[in-house]
Structure 1
């Protein structure tokens, strides 16, 4: 399921950022990516994302990250190591998987991510988990 088809797109204010390689939704609590079929996420793509979201990164805002992987694409897990070393933005990450292969890839990435990374079976599970992290527990986001 795409983010815009989920109940949360009607409940949470967001900004949609479009790229040649996919879409990223920016909320107060998390960034959610929906990348295109068949791409390979490499240093060029992460550099473009870092450039576009530099305002969040430079302000030291802490947010969650959700990869909604309804499309199949490849990801260099070493990017997590490099990103975590250079930036301390994400409090946690969730990867929504739709196949056993995608789940296995997420399991590999989990070994490279230095913070909490949850593998989820639905976008709702991922968003619920991110919103219920202690860093975001406030009256305003309780359902």
Structure 2
């Protein structure tokens, strides 16, 4: 389910529209929805992360939800590259809507040094992110 069609759309957020997808910024986490057929490469990731850092600050500690409502590709090792360069994502959730997405998320989870949770719904991912002790959401 797209974020904008979910019950969570009423939560206070900022929307960033980019040519390759949309990003939704909340107080302690952000959600990405990458467009259909995109290869989400390092250049695009850097462009998006530069906005994330500008919005939250370089010392932020954030949760990240990849809401995979569309089919797209990326290199699984990207999680570690993002962590090495930016070091602001404490944990991530991948919302998989089909078996192939779930298998890809499993591969990413094995490779990434960051904690990654595979989820079957956006609500599961948001609930998990909001309850992370590392984000001090209390």
Superposition TM-score, scaled by structure 2 size:
0.93
1:127 aligns with 2:121: no
Superposition TM-score, scaled by structure 1 size:
0.90
Q: Name the CA distance, whole Å, in 1 between partners of 2:70 and 2:110.
A: 22
- After TM superposition, the runs of 4+ consecutive aligned structure 1 residues lying more than 4 A away are none
Indicate the residue corresponding to 2:4 in structure 1.
Answer: 4
Change (3 A) 1:138 1:49: closer
Deviations 1:55-102 (A, max 9, x none): 246431111000000101011112112111122111110000000000
Query: How big is the alpha-carbon RMSD for the aligned residues of Structure 1 and Structure 2?
Result: 1.4
1:1-143 → structure 2 map (5 Å cutoff):
1-10=1-10, 12-56=11-55, 58-139=57-138
Q: Following TM superposition, by how much is the alpha carbon of 1:40 offset from its aligned partner in structure 2, in angstroms? A: 0.5
| Contact 1:18–1:24 (Cα < 8 Å) also in 2 | yes
Which structure 2 segments of 5+ residues have no match?
A: none
Q: Kindly tell me the number of residue pairs found equivalent between the two proteins.
A: 138
| Contact 1:84–1:113 (Cα < 8 Å) also in 2 | no
Which structure 1 segments of 5+ residues have no match?
A: none
| Contact 1:57–1:89 (Cα < 8 Å) also in 2 | no
